[in-house]
A and B are shown apart, each in its own frame.
Chain A
Amino acid sequence: MITKIKNAVKSKKETDTQTVLQAFNVRKSFGSRANVQQVLKGIDLRVEKGEFVGIMGASGAGKTTLLNVLATIDRATEGSILISGADISKMKDAQLSAFRRDKLGFIFQDYNLLDTLTVKENILLPVSLGKMKKKVAEAEFRSIADILGITELADKYPYEISGGQKQRTSAARALINQPSMVFADEPTGALDSKAASSLLGTLADVNEKRGVTIMMVTHDPLASSYCSRVVFLKDGNIYSELYKGDKTRQAFFQEILKVQAVLGGDSIDAL
């Protein structure tokens, strides 16, 4: 039995917040004509400035596909996506590249640091084409490295530091170009629980202090409890949304678990 509780818990404040991302009826299918598989079946989504949005769902629900499409790494088959007012679904590849470089930040599950670069060099990569003045970049690096607690590691190579430190480096790299939005794909997937919560705490901190908008894909309810809103996907559709509001993290975590249990129950029903 499938029960849709879409928009059930919606408590969005209709105030003067600024919209960073808007997606209308986004569809994505893979495969050729003979064997088309629709992964996203018409997603509408709106992210306000300063939000920390978590995206959850079972494997195959389309989390990563949605993130890739929103993050301009992959193209939607249908629908339009606006980031900071710019319609990315109409951009050419070269424009998309430039857009990603200037406006977006990325954190990957397996860090994706360049082995041959030091921590600092890795972090400064997104501004390495020289559009940001060296002085500004240096100051920006200092303040971000300070927040993330990796100032001491600046001259170390990735192989010399721990997984948690690598992910902090990756996060710093995502923030250096002062992006409109940061996309994180399972950032805690490869970390132990202690490193994971430490990183999430820092991300929430950055989100709060610097007002950075973050969208994070995760399958871990604990990770998503750090978010201000969690969107649940099921079979390519938005299944439900939860807002943290003024709840404690613990309470929010319990709520997330409940929705996940329903989602999980569904998949058992379907069998």
Chain B
Amino acid sequence: MNVLRWWSGLLVAFGLLIVLRIFLPLPFNNEIVIFAVYVIGCNFLLGRVGFISFGQPAYLAIGAYGTAFYLYYVGTNPLVGVLMGILAGVVISTIVGPLFVRLRSDYFALVNLALAIIVFFMMQKVLADWTFGDDGLWFLTNMDPTPVIDITRPAGFYVFALFVAFLVWALYKYLDDSIFGACCLAAKINDDKVRFLGYNNFHIRLLAFVIANTTTALAGALYAVYLGFVSPEMTSAARAADPVVVTILGGVGSLYGPLVGAIAYTGMKDLISQAIGNWELVIGFLLVFIMLAGEKGIWGSLEPLLKRLVSRERPAAVAGPATTDAGVESR
């Protein structure tokens, strides 16, 4: 019974995503699923560990280029390509992690942003012999169809991406419930006390950093396989705000916030850029508005209402720990 309850939230959320697939066109659904995976790493860092990162595009690009290099130069199997992307994410975030997680949150954000710009320059100029600069790497025709579900086709890819996203969400739900998740939250709120309890802040943060950024790299790998090409554009500083905006739009630190945020954001982006072209104007002021109006986000505001609704029918369900967390308003 407990097992069923643990999975029920996830199943309902992804069931709703599948329902969305019936009403909305396929590219939009693919975009939503990949974007949600992209954002949950940032959401975890900001909501659970208290690290704000404007450098998520760096890890996205590392994952994407990991996949792209494999598929362009070495092999033809897109599944192996995705694994290579994840591997690249693990390796790079393990290398930079020990340097970055020692920093305070404000320095952390700036250093990550610098990393994103450095990765951009590297992919655009320094490694141009291998990445072909702004032209990007095209490898759509290099990919062999995979057995069972053919992920080189958008329809097959959607099933694959949804399955991957489901696993990612299960992982993060597990992390939220585990002692490690509690340690992260504790390290965010008061790292001195965590040290007195005998935990090592550095190790907690490093592990969280590697997990979150590997997830982001996974999103990059998914993008690469889905689009069949990568270019330095994905790590440009103008897009550095995207994950942070969606995190806040959805609700910081809430498990399903990234899903809600990704749907709302992608939907608005499509509608608004059709209406007025100047997308940055809207996203910028939307961000300021959300921050001034209260930073709970869409899901963050909805979740307590839903909880109350459910608990009225079934009082036993309230017992679970509250997953909402006001995130940035810790002072």
A and B: interacting chains: no
